[in-house]
Amino acid sequence: MWIGVDDTDSVRGGCTTYLARLILERLTDQGFGIIGYPRLVRLNPNIPWKTRGNGAIALQVGRGRGHKMPIADLHGRPLHASPVLQTDLEEDEYTSAHATVNELVRAHAFFDDKKTNPGVVLLPKPPDPRWYREAVTSVVSLDRVQKELIKSGALFTPYKNGRGLIGATAAIAWSLGDSTYEIISYRERSRWGTPRSLDAGSVIAMDQASPSTFDNYDYLHECPRIAPHSPCPILYGIRGEDPGDLLKARGLVRSEDVESWVLFHSNQGTDDHILRKSIREISSFESVAITGRVAQAPRTIPGGHVVFAVDDGSGTIACAAYEPTKEFRTVVRGLRCGDELVVYGGVRDEPRTVNLEKIQVLGLVEIREKEENPVCPQCGKHMKSRGRNQGYRCIVCGCTSKMARFRTVERSVAVGWYEVPVCARRHLSKSLKRMAPLAVVSGTG
């Protein structure tokens, strides 16, 4: 049986992943087995009603078999999952698990926040993966999700406007394609809302000793990226390719006491949100990859944002490197009209703009600038211009020439990939580190 939960937290506190930690504790107390890693699934990052990172959670419960793997430590109690399901739950266990999850949601969700609309879904098997694809790339209607849940015999509970059902269903529907892991350490309850105590030096040491992890430390801005800044229960989360390495990496971070940790399987860092599209086909709230040419040179607008336009033959769209993308803007400023590139980013509706996450420069136009007027072959003196587009003439001997001397301007950008720095990276964005060896020339960030 699969459990999905979403939309329980608020900017004032809480975290849906923490609810997963509580559900794991309660269900295993009741004798249920956990199958596979719990899942942290990020959905469409452009959804206007998200709280922060549009994350939902899912886990599979039943009786399993196979070599058990560590998935959590809950206040000193280690928890293991079986890799494969052997027997599913009986009907009464199914109902009892539903009651437990709802009890926890009722006790811990931030119902008084008008943006919090929890949803709990229990399904005997995952729905078609297209429910995930749609939820990570577009806007899904709650009505359609509810109809699908009824059709597939789900037990589900919507709270308030019930929107959380969309994310809860999509998290169960996620079919592990490209994937990563995140180990999340939680704070002692008494410390929630207070400044986090985390040793930055140990984060650097962990980062350097753990090559399969990513986005741990922003070396340019000298700050750890593993801890959130919100008042939520998370102390820090380390992301990476390998669960075993994450367990070791966690042991290298020095911090305040960790109350518990959970190891999640995730779609973070996969670019699952990106659709390859022509400009004409783009809809609002999508994230896209567009191949085209720079049609309007970059300019810096008030606020320090850098904007330019791309044309792909089907239309033109504005692209922006916003101020928080820091030195990535320097790369963007180096683009010139005619440069060929692929732009990746979320589409903002009004004004319609691609909020850049990364770019791949495919080709650069040659830029030539006038170096000097032509030199007279007879007198050796520089000729004078005869007026716009009328060539040059030697004032000594009257010799003429059509062409001045030009030189090729050295470009500040090279062909290759460039991404925003870690501090501005979206959860779903695939970093160049994960794309290697594809990303031969890596840029800022």
Residues at the contact surface with ligand ATP, assessed by CB under 6 A: 6-7, 9, 15-16, 43-44, 47, 49-55, 117, 135, 139-140, 163-164, 166-167
What is the C-alpha separation between 246 and 230, in angstroms, rounded?
Answer: 23
Q: Minimum Å distance from CB 228 to ligand ATP?
A: 9
Q: Which of 146, 210 has the CB closer to ligand ATP?
A: 146
Peptide bond into 45 cis (omega under 30): no
Token readout for 221 is 């801005």
Quote the distance between the C-alpha of residue 322 and its chain's center. Answer: 16
What is the C-alpha separation between 141 and 361, in angstroms, rounded?
Answer: 36
Q: Minimum Å distance from CB 128 to ligand ATP?
A: 15
Q: Minimum Å distance from CB 139 to ligand ATP?
A: 4
Q: Minimum Å distance from CB 161 to ligand ATP?
A: 8
At position 422, the amino acid (one-letter code) is V
Question: With the CA atoms of 294, 296, 298 and 300 taken in that order, what torsion angle do they form, in degrees rounded to the nearest 10?
Answer: -150
Q: Minimum Å distance from CB 117 to ligand ATP?
A: 5
The percent of the chain in helix, strand and coil, each rounded to the nearest 5, is 20, 35, 40
Q: Is 206 helix (H, G, I), strand (E, B) or coil?
A: helix
State the residue number with the nearest CB to ligand ATP: 167
Q: Which of 305, 425 has the CB closer to ligand ATP?
A: 425
The residue behind tokens 């490209």 is 178
Q: Minimum Å distance from CB 344 to ligand ATP?
A: 19
What is the C-alpha separation between 213 and 130, in angstroms, rounded?
Answer: 29
Angle 207-46-17 from CA coordinates, rounded to 5°: 50
Beta-bridge mates of residue 300 = 306
Q: Minimum Å distance from CB 15 to ligand ATP?
A: 6
Q: Which of 49, 219 has the CB closer to ligand ATP?
A: 49
Beta strand 2-6 with 340-348 is unpaired
Q: Which of 6, 245 has the CB closer to ligand ATP?
A: 6
Phi, psi of 67 (to 5 degrees): -65, 120
